[in-house]
Each structure stands twice: as C-alpha cells, then as structure tokens.
Amino acid sequence: QVQLVESGGGLVQPGGSLRLSCAASRSIFSIYAMGWFRQAPGKQRELVASITTVGSTNYSDSVKGRFTISRDNAKNTVYLQMNSLKPEDTAVYYCTTGQYYSGSYYPDYWGQGTQVIVSS
C-alpha cells in the first residue's frame, strides 16, 4: 500500500505556470510507474501524463509540449510542471501510482486531488 499527497494547485492566469508535487508514503524506486489524471465537470477523466520506473514519459495530446512529468525516487516524489496554461486545463488533478501493461498505464493508488483553475 502507498499513500499519496498532492500539492501545488491553485489559481493562475492563462499563459501562466504551475508545478504540482506528489509525495508518496513509501519508497517508489523501481517499483511503481506514476501518472497524473485530471477531471473537470462534465468531462471524462483523462490521463494527462505518466512516467515509468526508469523515467520514460507519455503525454496526452492535449498537454504534450506544455506539461512535463518527472520523478525523484530518492525523495519519493513525482512532479507535473505545467506551462502555457489554458482555461481548458482547469480541473482537479490526481496523482497515482500504477503499472504499464502492453504500453498502457493502469493506476492502482490515488491521491486526494488538487484543484487547478486557469482563469483571467
């Protein structure tokens, strides 16, 4: 079992940046892949970005080129750097641990979520 705590959400203007952090309660080195999901009212939950145990990354088409996922296994922490934010990025963002199967990411543990609002 692992517990995840997100931080770094808030209100930002379009074109601005935020960095989300997710701290795990136990070591994740060489054990878990990690992923960030988001969900906005009236929209389906979306996998935004994921990262393997060795640092390979994947992004949704909607954020590729603007967001960067990274991990620091020594600190049991995963990050989501969000640049050039748009109003449509407004959502609750969730940190997860998970596994890759046949190239797809499947979450198994979820954080509580952190709100990101992009508005002028």
| pLDDT of res. 15 | 98
CB-based burial, 93-113: b 16+ in 10 Å, e otherwise? bbbbbbeeeeeebebebebeb
Q: Is the pLDDT score of 33 beyond 90?
A: yes
Beta sheet of 67-72, edge-to-edge order: 4-7, 18-24, 77-82, 67-72
How do strand 77-82 and strand 91-101 relate by DSSP bridges? unpaired
Strand, helix or coil for residue 94 = strand
pLDDT tens readout for residues 8-25: 999 999 999 999 999 998
Average pLDDT over the chain, rounded to an integer: 94
- Is the pLDDT at 27 greater than 90? The verdict is no
Q: Could you give the percent of the chain with pLDDT greater than 90?
A: 83
The answer on pLDDT for 29 being more than 70 is no
Count of other CB atoms within 10 angstroms of residue 4: 21
**Which of the 8 DSSP states describes residue 74?**
G
